[in-house]
Amino acid sequence: MRVAIVGGGAAGMMCAATIAEEYPRVEIFVLEKNASLGKKVIISGGGRCNVTTGIEDISLILEKYPRGNKFLQSAMHRFSPNMVSAWFEAHGVPLKCEDDLRMFPVSNNGTDIVAVFEDIFEETNVHVKYKHNVQHIIKKNTGFVLSFKDQKDLEVDKVVVALGGQAYRHTGSTGDGYDILEQLGHTITPLAPSLNSFLTKETWPKKLSGLSFQKATIFIAGQKKQYTSTGPFLFTHMGVSGPAIFALSARIAFLRYDKATPLAIQIDIFPDLTEGELLEKLQQTREEHMQKTFKNTLPHLVAKSLAEELCILLDIPLEKKNADMSKKELSRVVSHLKGLPLNITGRGAGDEFVTAGGVELSEVDPKTMESKICPGLFFAGEILDVDGYTGGFNLQASWATGNAAGIAIGK
Ligand SMILES: Cc1cc2nc3c(=O)[nH]c(=O)nc-3n(C[C@H](O)[C@H](O)[C@H](O)COP(=O)(O)OP(=O)(O)OC[C@H]3O[C@@H](n4cnc5c(N)ncnc54)[C@H](O)[C@@H]3O)c2cc1C
């Protein structure tokens, strides 16, 4: 049997390696338009490659996928983060789990992850065809014909489409799979960037650029129950960013907002304290420093730059003494610390990590990743309508779906 794996990213590499190791008699072609494999894997996690998550409870892991969590259930049980870690370790790449439960190679080097696959492909029945830019996949009676931009056609029995999404396009993931699959009769759901920073209407975050918080809760104003996200957060020169912002961006990937109709968000920078507790803390600090200015007292609780900005936002004169601060003013400060108001006007251009949306999941068998519309056609990775939060969940989805397709193909 001849199998073509279209796209040599995380999902395609894992699929090819699985087939090569489980079914050595299958002839495998990995077709990649770049001159190397796994470009995105190498730059992932800031070059360190957050391979997977250290969370073990599968139901908790599935909660980290705003889209596709039910679909992933089977693949995730059969190739869980634990099994992924064991797989890489067995292939000579020891992993470590950091305090926030992200797993990285001990070497902190994403190229070690890609090297595992390169070694497997060298030793097995895998032909890696670089600079093979797939244009069309045509279904024939007994198999498929693939056509390329500059190469000869290739005939195979089965095809796995692992072409990724359209985020970080310079890595090769330019969304080519969407057209190719529509031509084969598949539905592509609406697409949107996800895991991105936000631009804000307010310009004051720029003055605080780089100021970060270990834990903040971000929510859409008035919708704390529906859209909320807690985690590390930071101000940037254009707005706000960090894991809590990325998670929120994933939840609201399909909400519309722009300069004319911004979306109001609020940031609680003391998520572990109630308003009452925070007020008590603030009052206590004030009473200890009655003759000092409020501006110089607030830094007992927050960074100096934020303290000053808060005073400006709340019209508290910078020279105002603690003794002159009213309870009403202190309460307003607390309300702001528990819900800093900002208006988001857009996403950081081209800085999203993944594409939300993709191949309509009802058209794919979640156990085998085979198309229900076009037998012999399989999918793996971000091309599917599956995306997760930051923390290793997107690569984990690619490993798991790549493995599931690989196992199913040889059977
Ligand atoms: C900057 C950044 C950092 C990230 N960090 C992490 C992280 O640390 N942990 C995590 O879990 N996730 C991370 N992600 C997300 C994760 O990298 C992706 O979800 C994952 O790599 C998707 O894998 P894939 O194989 O589905 O697609 P891709 O990795 O996008 O691979 C698709 C492949 O198909 C090739 N291709 C495209 N079109 C064609 C064509 N026409 N013909 C032939 N080949 C083609 C591309 O060149 C590419 O090699 C990050 C993403 C970005 C952008």
Whether 250 is in the pocket of ligand 1, judged by its Cβ within 6 Å, is no
Which ligand 1 atom is at minimum distance from the Cα of 39?
Answer: 49
* Tens digits of residue pLDDT in 228-267: 999 999 999 999 999 999 999 999 999 999 999 999 999 9
Q: Does 393 sit in the ligand 1 pocket, CB within 6 Å? A: yes
Dump strand ranges (E) for 39-174: 52-53, 95-97, 102-105, 126-129, 134-139, 144-148, 154-156, 158-161
Fold annotation for 196-269+341-347: Elongation Factor Tu (Ef-tu); domain 3 (2.40.30)
Give domain limits for the chain.
2-192+355-410, 196-269+341-347, 275-338
pLDDT for 69-125, tens place per residue? 999 999 999 999 999 999 999 999 999 999 999 999 999 999 999 999 999 999 998
- CATH classification (class only), 275-338: mainly alpha
Find the mean pLDDT for residues 224-229. Answer: 81
Mutate to test the pocket of ligand 1, among 67, 353, 364, 390 (most ligand atoms within 8 A of CB): 353
DSSP annotation of 254: T
pLDDT category, 222, cuts 50, 70, 90?
Answer: confident
Q: Is 223 a residue whose pLDDT tops 80? A: no
Neighbours of 398 (CB within 10 A): 29
Does the CB atom of residue 50 touch ligand 1 within 6 A?
yes
Q: Where are the alpha helices (DSSP H) in 63-107?
A: 69-78, 81-90
Q: Which residues pair with 240 in a beta bridge?
A: 198, 235
Domain 2-192+355-410 classification at class level: alpha beta
By three-state DSSP, how is residue 216 classified?
Answer: strand
Q: Per-residue pLDDT tens for 332-346?
A: 999 999 999 999 999
How would residue 224 be classed by pLDDT, with cut points 50, 70 and 90?
low
Q: Hey, CA dihedral for 71, 77, 79, 81, is it positive or negative? A: positive
Stated pTM of the model = 0.94
- Tokens 């000579």, located at residue: 92
Residue 195: predicted pLDDT: 96
- Those residues whose C-beta lies under 8 Å from the C-beta of residue 19, and which sit 6 or more positions away, are 3, 26, 28, 406, 409, 410
